[in-house]
Structure 1
Amino acid sequence: MENQMIRSLTFQDGNAENAMNFYLDIFDNSKIITVTRWGKDAPTTEGKIMQATFELDGNVFMCSDSPPIHAWDFTPAVSNYIECENEDELERLFSGLSENGKVMMPLNNYGFSQKFGFIEDQFGVSWQLNLK
């Protein structure tokens, strides 16, 4: 089996499942692969996600609800970069991911690409969307 790099998203606010379902609604060809939940004797709320894996259009992600609160969180310095096949896909993803989020760079031609946008979604995860 080939080694695969998997994006891992650690949520400190109990939003792992909400974020996963949000992304599944936005991306085509997406599915939940596995979900393991915290039990009743867990150091966090029972039923929260201990670890889940899911696929967004062929890309595997993991997410979890972290019981300890860390001194760090998501940062735009590390983001998910997506090469979109066409303008419709770019605009659909941009619209979906920016819902209740923060647009850091609106869709535009910035000289390095014909159309590009940068978003921090409502969960604090950053996405760069580029038209091939």
Structure 2
Amino acid sequence: MKQQITTFLTFQENNSEQAMNFYVGLFENSKIIDIQRYDKAGPGKEGSVMKATFELNGKQFICSDSFVKHQWNFTPAISNWVECENDKQLETLFKKLSAGGSVMMPLDNYGFSKKFAWVADQFGISWQLNFQ
């Protein structure tokens, strides 16, 4: 098997499936590939996501609901860079991804980009949105 590097998102609020469905609905060429759930034997909450694989515009991600409450969560130091096809796409993603989240850099021309924004969504995942 060819070595592959895949982003793994560890959710701590049993909301990985909600996040995954939100992201798949935002990006074209996206789908849920597989979901494995905890059963009543645990160790996670029954029905929560043990491991799920999904694609966003053809890029594979893995996520899970952690049954261990960690002392950390998502950080903007690691983010998803989205190269938008047009201004409208960038503005739509900005609006939907920042709803319930936070804006770290509002939509603007920052010199390195004609239109750029950096947001953390409602789940704490960071997104850098760019349109040249």
Structure 1 portions without partners, runs of 5+: none
1:39 Cα deviation from its structure 2 partner: 0.8
**1:1-132 correspondence runs (5 A):** 2-132=2-132
TM-score normalised by L of structure 2: 0.94
1:122 Cα deviation from its structure 2 partner: 0.2
Matched to 2:114, the amino acid is Q
Matched to 2:31, the amino acid is K
Deviations 1:32-51 (A, max 9, x none): 00100001110221000000
Counterpart CA distance in 1 for 2:83 and 2:2 is: 23
Structure 2 portions without partners, runs of 5+: none
1:2 Cα deviation from its structure 2 partner: 4.4
* Secondary structure at the counterpart of residue 19 of structure 2: helix
Q: CA RMSD in A?
A: 1.2
Counterpart CA distance in 2 for 1:34 and 1:101 is: 27
Deviations 1:16-65 (A, max 9, x none): 01110111111111100010000111022100000000011111111100
Counterpart CA distance in 2 for 1:34 and 1:103 is: 31
Query: 4+ runs of 1 displaced by more than 6 Å?
Result: none
Counterpart CA distance in 2 for 1:106 and 1:90 is: 12
Deviations 1:59-95 (A, max 9, x none): 1111100111111110011111111121122112111
Counterpart CA distance in 2 for 1:2 and 1:131 is: 33
Retained in 1: the 8 A contact 2:44–2:50?
no
* Secondary structure at the counterpart of residue 95 of structure 1: helix
TM-score normalised by L of structure 1: 0.94
